[in-house]
Amino acid sequence: MLKFIPNNPAINKDLTLLLTIGGLYSLGIFLSNTFVNVYLWRQSNDFITIGLYNLAIFVFQPITFIVAGKLAKKIDRIIVLRLGVIFLSFFFLTVLIIGKHAATFNILLGCLLGIGYGFYWLAFNVLTFEITEPETRDFFNGFMGGLESLGGMVGPLLAGIIISKMSTNIGYMTVFSISLGLFILAVVSSFFLKRRKARGKYELKKVFQRFLPDANWRNVLLANLCQGLREGIFVFIITIWVFIITNSEFAVGIFNLVFCGVSFVFYMIVSKIIYPKIRKRAILMGSIIISLSVYILVFHFSIVTALLYALVIGVAYPIINVPLSSSAFDVIGNSINAKELRIEYVVTLELFVNIGRVISVCLLIVCLISFNSFKVIPIILVIMSHAYLFVFYFMNKIDVQF
């Protein structure tokens, strides 16, 4: 059940609506975006093509965050959220139109998706910060993580079944069309959220200047950069590997079913047992598990080891993500001018995550071009996986009474 705030029906309604929009978004993204990388691989058989697609996402997402932050200070943040979902809808519409030529337009597609992500996540994160309270934040993040995991269970499996039962191109077009419909529903749901306008000037530079004097804020930013270092390449490499060894979209769906099914259970558990005083211990545990999980894959990659890996990280992600997100928002809440500059703080946080992602994807592309061999990929995965140990290192240095 949701942890409602007593005698505050407006916040309770907005909490429910925000979770609804987040759930529709998660299902739409997991249904299709898991398979966009596979769709591009089918057309190109080239990791560099996939890497450039994801690099475009990670470059345009932070650029859009900066623009979205400025818009959120001038117009309603619900409109910014709506813009994100509209651009995501436009992305899938473009995929439907270009079809078999998607790999040729990989950078264009990455730009569209990055813009959609930027608008959506800026607004969603700001709304999460405003709608939740410190006592409901762990629960909300856990419940939202559960919804994301549920979308990750149902979406890829359903997509894999649809694609395997139909001719390849028709199956993909069907899946992308369903995602388009889900995003339209998310736009409709956003009209029921309470309007939330911000006042004041957009002062992103002022928040950047807090990097050196504010140790807590600096450590949160560096922790998120390290998180991005790993996620930049893991988000697509493992999926492509599963498809390569099985040549089956259904197998990709099963992989995601195991990962998200385990995550769903553990997000529900973690949301009930994590509280501020044990956040650092949870982050340590999650960091160690995620860092070491890569060794399940690099020595012998098969569908069995892939499913074991999915199970392990399905346990680890909730353990670290819930306290990491909650701690970051609490540090923002304790920072100077947090109320007036909350949008700028969220923008800066996401910029550092994407800086990490861009670095890791650029490293992958440079290594693939330099060595002209896929054998370099496991080495890069091992190096980047251990970035999560630095996530704990920086979060452990935070000194805030949560």
Query: Nearest to residue 155, comparing CAs of 235, 256, 244, 21?
Result: 256
Structure token pair of residue 24: 């529709």
What is the residue-level pLDDT of the chain in tens, covering all 402 positions?
444 444 444 456 777 788 888 888 888 888 887 788 888 999 998 999 999 999 999 999 999 989 988 888 888 778 888 899 889 888 888 888 888 888 999 999 999 999 999 998 888 877 877 777 766 666 777 778 778 777 877 888 888 888 888 876 788 888 888 888 888 888 888 777 776 666 678 888 888 888 888 899 999 999 999 999 999 999 899 999 999 998 888 898 899 889 888 888 888 788 788 777 888 899 999 999 999 999 999 888 899 999 999 999 999 999 998 888 888 888 888 888 877 888 888 889 889 999 999 999 999 999 999 987 778 899 999 999 999 999 999 999 887 654
Contact (CB, 8 A) for 252 and 38: yes
Nearest Cα residue to 227 out of 126, 321, 318, 153? 321
Place of tokens 């990709």: 252
Neighbouring CB atoms inside 10 A of 365's CB total 18
- Work out the angle at residue 208's Cα, subtended by the Cα atoms of residues 324 and 56, and round it to the nearest 5 degrees: 70
Tokens, residue 60? 């345009």
Q: What is the domain partition of the chain in residue ranges? A: 11-191+202-396
Q: Which of 26, 69, 25, 12 is nearest to 187 (CA)?
A: 25
Q: Is 126 buried (19+), middle (13-18) or exposed (0-12) by CB count in 10 A?
A: buried
DSSP state of 214: -
For 174-214, the DSSP string reads HHHHHHHHHHHHHHHHHTTSPP----S---HHHHHTTTTT-
Work out the number of other CB atoms within 10 angstroms of the CB of residue 5: 16
Q: Which CATH number fits domain 11-191+202-396: 1.20.810.10, 3.40.50.1220, 1.20.1250.20, 3.10.20.30?
A: 1.20.1250.20
